[in-house]
């Protein structure tokens, strides 16, 4: 009696393992084909055979051997994914009109004590020329050599000050 029960148990385990492996392989193949639905069917089938078949077979074999865990996972996959990956419902509140948003931004800037924003130069705007604040005097047309000399003098003053310390 015991050998017969053992044989029936192994046969049932093998049948369920084979069915589970077949189901997992079919789902893997269908998922691959669905993800590449834009191409011709023959091309997609060929790509599956070249790229994914070995991986799908290995996963199907492991799922078949571990069918005690795989079957509940296959059955409850959508439920578990829905519970684990659930997102809150997107609220359908209407967006605030642009003038209201601008008024709110100005109100918050005043509350924080921020000054008026500086204008952002656009691509077509020409930069303000050097020395525009001094009426266009010599600073607006200073040669590069003068700027280099000023820089050299500043570096010399700093290094002399460091040596004196």
> Rounded distance, CA 14 to CA 26, Å?
18
SS3 139: helix
Give me the pLDDT at residue 26, please: 92
The percent of residues in the chain predicted with pLDDT above 70, rounded, is 63
> Rounded distance, CA 159 to CA 55, Å?
68
Q: Which candidate, 70, 69, 48, 50, places its Cα nearest to that of 60?
A: 70
> In the chain, what is the greatest distance between 2 CA atoms, to the nearest angstrom?
113
Q: For residues 70-88, give the mean pLDDT.
A: 79
Q: Which candidate, 42, 48, 44, places its Cα nearest to that of 28?
A: 48
Q: What is the pLDDT of residues 34-76, one digit of tens each?
A: 888 766 788 888 888 888 899 999 999 998 888 888 888 878 8
Q: For residues 97-107, give the mean pLDDT.
A: 83
Give me the pLDDT at residue 25, please: 93
> Rounded distance, CA 128 to CA 118, Å?
14
Q: How far is CA 78 from CA 72, 74, 86, 138, 149, in A?
A: 11, 8, 11, 76, 74
Q: By mean pLDDT, which of 20-24, 144-148, 158-162 is the weakest? A: 144-148
CA quadruple 129, 135, 139, 142: dihedral, nearest 10: 70
User: Cα 112–116–122 angle (5° rounding)?
Assistant: 130
Q: 19 near 65, Cβ under 8 Å? A: no
The kind and range of the H/E element at 80 are helix 67-84
Q: Say if residue 137's pLDDT is above 80.
A: no
> Rounded distance, CA 24 to CA 124, Å?
60
Give residue 142's pLDDT band: very low, low, confident or very high (50, 70, 90).
very low
Q: Which two tokens stand for residue 106?
A: 């100005």
């Amino acid at each position: 009696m015991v050998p017969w029960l053992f044989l029936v148990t192994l046969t049932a385990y093998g049948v369920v393992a084979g069915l589970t492996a077949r189901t997992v392989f079919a789902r893997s193949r269908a998922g691959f084909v669905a993800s590449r639905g834009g191409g011709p069917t023959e091309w997609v089938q060929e790509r599956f055979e070249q790229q994914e078949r070995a991986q799908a077979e290995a996963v199907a074999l492991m799922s078949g051997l571990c069918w005690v865990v795989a079957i509940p996972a296959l059955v409850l996959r959508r439920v578990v994914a829905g519970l684990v990956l659930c997102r809150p419902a997107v609220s359908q509140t209407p967006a605030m009109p642009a003038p209201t948003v601008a008024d709110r931004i100005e109100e918050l800037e005043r509350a924080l004590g921020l000054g008026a924003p500086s204008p952002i130069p656009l691509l077509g705007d020409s930069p303000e020329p050097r020395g525009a604040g001094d009426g266009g005097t010599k600073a607006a047309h200073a040669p590069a050599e003068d700027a280099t000399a000023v820089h050299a003098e500043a570096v010399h003053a700093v290094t002399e000050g460091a040596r004196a310390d």
